[in-house]
Amino acid sequence: MTDDVRALSAELARDPGSLVFVALGEALRVRGRLDAAAKVALAGLEHHPNLADGHDLYARIVADAGDV
Of the CA atoms within 13 Å of residue 13, those in its CB half-sphere come to 6
Whether the full predicted model's pTM is greater than 0.85, yes or no, is yes
pLDDT higher than 90, residue 58: yes
Q: What is the largest CA-CA distance in the chain?
A: 33
pLDDT higher than 90, residue 67: no
* Residue ranges covered by each domain of the chain: 3-65
Q: Could you report the per-residue pLDDT of 19-54, keeping only the tens digit for each?
A: 999 999 999 999 999 999 999 999 999 999 999 999
